[in-house]
Structure 1
Amino acid sequence: MTGKNRSWWGWGNVEDAVADGELSQLIDRVRALFPNADLTEHTAPDIGSFDVPQSRIRPPKPLAELASTASAERMAHSHGQAFRDVVRALLGHLHDIPDVVVRPRTEDDVVAVLDWCSDAGIAVIPFGGGTSVVGGVEPRVGDEYTGVVSLDLTALDRVLEVDPVSRAARVQAGVLGPDLEQQLRTHGLTLRFFPQSFEFSTLGGWLATRAGGHYATGPTHIDDLTESMRVVTPAGVIESRRLPASGAGPSPDRMFLGSEGTLGIITQAWMKLQDRPRWRATASVSFADFDRGVEAVRVIAQSALNPSNCRLLDPAEAMINAGTATTVLILGFESAHHPVEPWMAQALEVCLDHGGTLPEPVRYTDSENATARNGAAGAWRSSFLRMPYRRDALAARGMIVETFETACTWDTFPQVRASIEAAAREAMREVGAEGVLTCRFTHVYPDGPAPYFGIYAAGTWGKTVEQWDGIKAAVSEAICASGATITHHHGVGRDHRPWYDRQRPDLFATTLAAGKSALDPAGILNPAILIDPS
C-alpha cells in the first residue's frame, strides 16, 4: 500500500520509527520528568536469530498455496501490539508461535480452513491487521490442540458493492483502513471511522472487537455503522438481513460484534457511509482546573450539539503529548452539508461559562480536502498518530509506556478516577517504577465519559513486562471494583479475561458458551477468548 516495510516486532513501518530531532526531543522531555532513568537503547534481535520450532501441521493440498511456514511469517504473527508484546519481542521472549499462517483469498477458502482445522483439532486465531493490544491474536492456546493456524484475512480487501442511494457499501473484512477509504473516495463517500490503528487495522478487526472510531460523541463504535454482517462458522455461514434497523428479536449482528473471532470469522459486512465532510471547525480551549473542564464536557455531551471531536486532556497528558501544561479541550465540528459556525459558537459558550479560555482563534475550513488542524489541536493530532512509535522508542529504553481505558457514568467518574489514581500510584511504588498517570477523554456520551489513562514510568530493563503486569492488574482491579467497564474499545482478548469474567453476568456466560458449542463444536476458534474452551 505504501511501499514501506512493516516492523516485525513493533508498531507500524520501519521507515516511520522515531529518529533524529523527534527522538532527541522525546528523550529530553523524558529526562526532564525522570532525571534518574536509565535510557540506554536496546535493539530488537534479528528475526532470523530465533530458534523457531518446526511446524507441527501441514495444510491439505488445496490450501497449501495459501499457507506459509516461513519462520519470519510465523514470528510476525505471534503477537499483537501492546507494550508487553513489544518488550517481549525486544527481549526475544516470544514462545507461542503459530505453526502455519494462512491467507485465504475467498470465503470458500475460509470455509475450507475451518473444515480442516475442525477435523484435525487445530486452533484458528483470526489475525486481521494484528494490532490487538489485549492478547487477542496471540496463539496462547495450551497443549490441547495439534497445532495453531494464524488466519490472516488481509487478502479479502475489496469493496464489493456500493449503494449510493442508501449510502452503504458491502465490504470484505480484511481491508485495511486506508485501502477502504481510497476505494470509497471514488464514490464521494466515506466510512469516517478512524481509530488510532487505522493505517494498520482491518474492518473485520474493528467489527470483531467493537472498536471505537475518532468521533467523540457519535457514532463512536463500529456497531453504530454496521448494517449487516456475513460470518463463517465451523457449523455454517450466517448472514443477517440488510436493514437500517429492526425490532425482530435479538440482533444477529450483536452476537458477532465484539465476539473477537471465538464464534466465527467475519468475512464481509454492509457498512453505513456518509458524504465526505466539507465544513470543519477546530478549537483548543484551556481550563485552569481539570474538574471545570470535565463539567464543561458533560454539558456539551448532553446538549445534542454532537461535536465530532471533544477530547479533554489533563495537564500531564497535555504536557507530554501537546507541550502545554494546562487542561486542554480539543473541540471539533464537521459537516458535508452545512457550515458549522453556530454549533462551535454554542459549544464555546458552554466552555467559557465554565472558566475556559480560547488562547487562539477557532480555525474554520470550507473544502473537502482541507483541514482545520493547526495550532494546539494540530499538535495533539500529530502526537496522537505518533504515540505508538514513541511508545516503542521509549520501551526500547527501559520506560514503561502504556495505556488503558474504561467508561463510566458522570456521577461515578470522580470516584473512578480517584480509585485508579490511588491504585496506579501504589502499584508503581510496589514494582519500583517512578512514574506518572495521565488522563484524557476519548469519547463522551450524555450519560458518561470514556476516560483513557496513560502510564509513563521509569522501569528496570529486563523487568518492565513484569512491572507493567503488576500495574495493569492493580488498575484493572480498581476499574472493576468501582463499577466501570474493563474496556471501552480495546477488546477483551486474553489479557482482560479475569476482569471481564467478573463484569459479565454468570448466566450470560453460560448462554455464550452454549452459543459457541453450537457454532464451533470442536472449539477451535480463538480458544480462551471471552470464555474457556469446553
Structure 2
Amino acid sequence: MAKRCWWGWGYEHAAVAGAEREALMARVAALLPGHDLTDHPPPDARTLALPKPRISRPPFSDDPEDRVAHSHGKAFRDIARNLEGNVESVPDLIARPRTEQDVVDILDWCTREGVAVIPYGGGSSVVGGVEPRCAADYPGVVSLDLSAMDKVLEVDPMSRAARIQAGTFGPNLEEQLKKHDLTLRHYPQSFEFSTLGGWLATRAGGHFATLATHIDDLVESIRTVTPVGISESLRVPASGAGPSPDRLFLGSEGTLGVITEAWMRLQARPTWRASASIAFDDYAAAVTATRLVAQSGLHPANCRLLDAAEAFLNAGVSVNGGLLLLAWESADHPVDAALERGLEICRDHGGRPEERKDAAGSWREAFLRMPYQRDALVRSSLIVETFETACTWSAFGDLHAAVTTAAHDAIKQVAGRGIVTCRFTHVYPDGPAPYFGIYATGRWGSLVQQWDELKVAVSDALAAHGGTITHHHAVGRDHQPWYAKQRPEPFAMAFRAAKQALDPAGILNPGVF
C-alpha cells in the first residue's frame, strides 16, 4: 500500500524528483534568478521531540509518526513548519472509529473527561482546521480519524442518490458508485486525499464551475453525532419547513458534531463532452467574455479563466491577456451547440480558440501536480501559496487591482521578489471566484513569519474590497480574524447558542470559529 507523506502532500512515492524537479527548478531560476535553491529534506518524524501523551485509552493510537501526521494540515505554513521540525502541538491520541456507535462512545468519553476532539477526514485542510492549537487548554486532545468508515451503504438508483459514510475518500467513493453507473462528480483538487465528511464540514468546492459548485448542492440529507444526541434530517428533494437542519452542519467544521453519513445526489456518468481553450489579448475583455458566458444560461461544467502568468506557468501557453478553458458535458444529449455559442460570445470580445488542443489537459495535469510541486519549492525556500475568494462582477476590477497591489507590495517588503497570478475557479451570474497565487523568494528559517505577513496584507485587501475571506477553503483557525468581521453579529450570537446547546462541554474542535 502506498504510504502517505507525513510532512507534505499526497504519497511519498509521488513526490517531485528527477527530471520533473530539474525542470521545475530551472523555471524558478529563470523567473527568480539568484534565489538560493538549496534543498532542505524533511526530518524523520520519529526523531522529533514530542510531548508524551497525557491520556490513554486503548485501542487509540499514540504512535509518534501517527500523532505528527495528524498535527497539521497541508497549507504552506504547515509544510514549512514540518520541514523545520516545528511541531508545537500534537494530539495525544488518534481514534479510528469503525461504526457510528464508536463515534458516540468516543464523544461520551471525551465529554466526561473534558478531552478535546478534532474530527479528521483526510487532513487536507489548508486553514488550520485540524491543528490542535488548543492542546494546552485541555487535559488531552483526540484526533478523531473517520477513515475506517468508508462505505457506500445504500444506493437508490431511481432517485439517483446514495447513503455514504463520511470517511470515504474520493477515489473509493467513485469506485463504489461506478458499479451502479452513477457518480457524485465532485472533484476538488484534494479529491484523492479528502473525504465526504470533510467536504461537507468545510462546504468544499468541486468539479462544476457553474450551478452545483459546492458540495452543499449535492446533499439530500445529513446524519451527525453530537454530544447531546444524533441529528438526521429528513431525506427529501427539497423542503420549506423552516431553516434547513443540513445548513447548520454544512460548513460547521466539526464544531457542532461529527458527520457520520449523508444521502448524496448522484448523476449518470457523462457520455457527451465538448471543450475549447480561448486566448485573449486583453485581460479585461477576457473577464467580460467570461461574465457573459456565466450569465448566458449555458451552464458550462468548466469555465476557468487563467491570467497570462497563470496560463504560462501552469498551462504552458503564452497569451497577452488570458486563457479561458471552457467545457460542457452531459449524460443525456450532445453539447456541441452550447460550446459553439460559448465560442461565439468569446469571439465577440476578441477571443480566439487555441490551436493547441492540449492546453486544458496540460493545465489539468499541472493542477493535480501543483501541491507536490509546491512542496518541492518550499524545500528550496520558496513561498508558494494561494488566496481564494468570491465577489460580484461589479466589484472584481477594484478587488483584483487591490489584491494584486497589496500582494506585490507585501512581497517586496517581506520577500524581495515574486509573482502574483489569478484564475477563476468558479463563476456565477453575479460574480466570479478569483483564486490568487503567490510565488516569492523566502528565507529558510523565516518562511512562516514571511508568509503570515503576506497573508495579513492580502486578506485585509480582500475584506476591504468586497471579497469573502474564503470561497471554498473553509474558515479553520487561520481565517478566523477576517471571518469574525464578515459574519453578522446576530448570526454569531445564534451560532454561539447552537454551540452551547449541542456541545455544552466545549470539546469539539476548539478554536475554529
Query: 1 CA distance for matches of 2:147 and 2:473?
Result: 20
Helix, strand or coil at the partner of 2:279: strand
- Cα distance per residue 1:115-162 (max 9 Å; x no partner): 011111100001100000000000011522110000000000000000
The reply on whether 1:234 has 2:217 as its aligned counterpart is no
1:2-401, aligned counterparts within 5 Å?
3-59=1-57, 64-65=58-59, 67-326=60-319, 327-360=322-355, 375-401=358-384
Q: Is the 8 A contact 1:55 1:69 kept in 2?
A: yes
Shift of 1:465: 1.1
Aligned-pair Cα RMSD in Å: 0.8
Cross-structure match for 1:407 = 390
Distance 1:469 1:263 in 2: 28
Q: Deviation at 1:433?
A: 3.2
Gaps of at least 5 residues in structure 2 are none
TM superposition outliers: structure 1 runs of 4+ over 6 Å: none
Distance in 2, matches of 1:256 and 1:337, equals: 33
CA offsets 1:154-193 (integer angstroms, 9 cap, x no match): 0000000000000000000000000000000000000000
TM-score, normalization by structure 2:
0.99
Q: Quick one: distance in 2 between partners of 1:300 and 1:82?
A: 32
Of the three residues 496, 505, 511, the one matched with 1:522 is: 505
Verify the 8 A CA contact 2:90 2:135 in the aligned structure 1: no
Match of 1:368 in 2: none
8 Å Cα contact 2:89-2:135 kept in structure 1: no
Task: Measure, in 1, the Cα distance between the counterparts of 2:318 and 2:194.
Answer: 32
Paired positions, count: 511
- Superposition deviation, residue 425 in structure 1: 1.2
- Determine the structure 2 residue equivalent to 1:371: none
Kept in 2, the 8 Å contact 1:104–1:152? The answer is yes
Contact map agreement 1:433 1:467 (CA 8 A) in 2: no
2: CA distance between counterparts of 1:37 and 1:123? 43
How far did residue 429 of structure 1 move?
A: 1.7
Displacement of 1:58: 1.2
Identity of aligned residues (%): 61
Correspondence for 1:370: none
Is the contact between residue 183 and residue 269 of structure 2 (CA under 8 Å) also seen in structure 1?
yes
Indicate if the aligned counterparts of 2:223 and 2:260 stay in contact, CA closer than 8 A.
Answer: yes
Give the letter for the 1:53 counterpart: P
Quote the residue 1:470 is aligned against.
453
- Partner SS state of residue 353, structure 2: coil
Task: Verify the 8 A CA contact 1:433 1:460 in the aligned structure 2.
Answer: no
Distance in 2 separating the partners of 1:401 and 1:139: 24
**CA offset at residue 498 of structure 1?**
0.1
The superposition leaves residues 197-234 of structure 1 with CA deviations (integer Å, 9 ceiling, x where unpaired) of 00000000000000000211121000000000000000
Whole-angstrom distance in 1 between the partners of 2:424 and 2:125: 21
Structure 1 unmatched ranges of 5 or more: 362-373
TM-score scaled by structure 1? 0.95
Give the conservation status (yes or no) of the 8 Å contact 2:301–2:328: yes
Give the aligned partner of residue 365 of structure 1: none
- Tell me the distance in 2 between the aligned counterparts of 1:525 and 1:53: 22
